[in-house]
Amino acid sequence: MSTGVAAVSRAGRDSVLLAGRQLRVLRLNPGRLIYPLVQPVVLLVLFVSVLGNLALSHGAAGGAYRQFLIPGILIQNAALTAPGTGLGLLRDAGSGLADRFRSLPMSRSAVLIGRLAADGVVFAAQAVLLLAVAALLGFRVRSGLPGLVAIVAVAVGFGLALAVVSAWFALLIRDAEAAERVLYFPAIALAFVSSAFAPASDLAGWMQPIARLSPVTAAAGVIRSVAGTGPVAAPLLHLGLWVAGLAVGPGILAVRRWARGS
């Protein structure tokens, strides 16, 4: 086995072990799942109730607006959950666990990859729960089970891409309290300066070009197309470029930052 293949194999094995450890931590501390699972459901119900009724008062069709709004809320919740990855890395660093990991003969990338893998399970559970509640609120996926699987995959992929960026920024900031304040603001701004809640053409003039380029717009557009069996190619390409840009460069930088311990 070549050195490169052996390194990849070791990184994969170590990542699986660390992902399993992180999932066991969540199982033993279910309180950590309250925010990523309960808060999105509350936001979904509130946004649909408030914005849906507002749309009805302006003459819009309630069902059509729900079909538009709910994909945006799915993506917004993934964006709001993503900072947890970076904050988790800072908690490990503050508890001394990071130093223990660095002292072990393990792949440096496995710490980030393992946490991302565990967080991917949380993103998937969040998306499934939100889709179940959304169905009760009238959201329909006309492409059936394959469409539902695709929507979960989009939410997970988008959430993980932002989680990589959050990990990099958190390791740059190094202070958990400051990082919590810094990381959540862009997540909120991403949702509102996009077509998550309204078409880009209905936003303020200066927002429209930003909203059309936004990764939230791309991700919500893919879900809307899948749910309505519309054209997927253009929004999927848009989203793919964003996911690659958000994950690759920041991912490499985050691993290097973690390995240096600073």
pLDDT tens for residues 110-159? 888 888 999 999 999 999 999 999 999 889 999 899 999 999 999 999 99
pLDDT at 33: 78
Q: Mean pLDDT across the stretch 72-96?
A: 86
HEC assignment per residue over the chain? CCHHHHHHHHHHHHHHHHHHHHHHHHHHCHHHHHHHHHHHHHHHHHHHHHHHHHHHHCCCCHHHHHHHHHHHHHHHHHHHHCHHHHHHHHHHHHHCHHHHHHHCCCCCHHHHHHHHHHHHHHHHHHHHHHHHHHHHCCCCCCCHHHHHHHHHHHHHHHHHHHHHHHHHHHHHHCCHHHHHHHHHHHHHHHHHCCCCCCCHHHCCCCCHHHHHHCHHHHHHHHHHHHHHCCCCHHHHHHHHHHHHHHHHHHHHHHHHHHHHCC
> What sign results for the dihedral spanned by CA atoms 32, 30, 114, 187?
negative
- CA–CA separation, 147 and 100 (whole Å): 43
> 67: closest CA among 127, 157, 131, 128?
131
Q: What pLDDT band is residue 189 in, cutting at 50, 70 and 90?
A: confident
- CA–CA separation, 166 and 119 (whole Å): 12
Task: Confirm whether pTM is higher than 0.85.
Answer: yes
Q: Mean pLDDT across the stretch 27-31?
A: 78
pLDDT at 1: 47
Q: State yes or no: pLDDT of 59 exceeds 70.
A: no
Question: Which is more confident, 190 or 220?
Answer: 220
> 223: closest CA among 152, 169, 137, 123?
152
Q: What is the pLDDT of residues 212-227, one digit of tens each?
A: 999 999 999 999 999 9
Q: State yes or no: pLDDT of 94 exceeds 80.
A: no
Backbone φ, ψ for residue 198 (5° rounding): -155, 150
Q: What pLDDT band is residue 99 in, cutting at 50, 70 and 90?
A: low
Residue partners of 258: CB distance under 8 A and separation at least 6? 89, 98, 108, 111, 112, 171
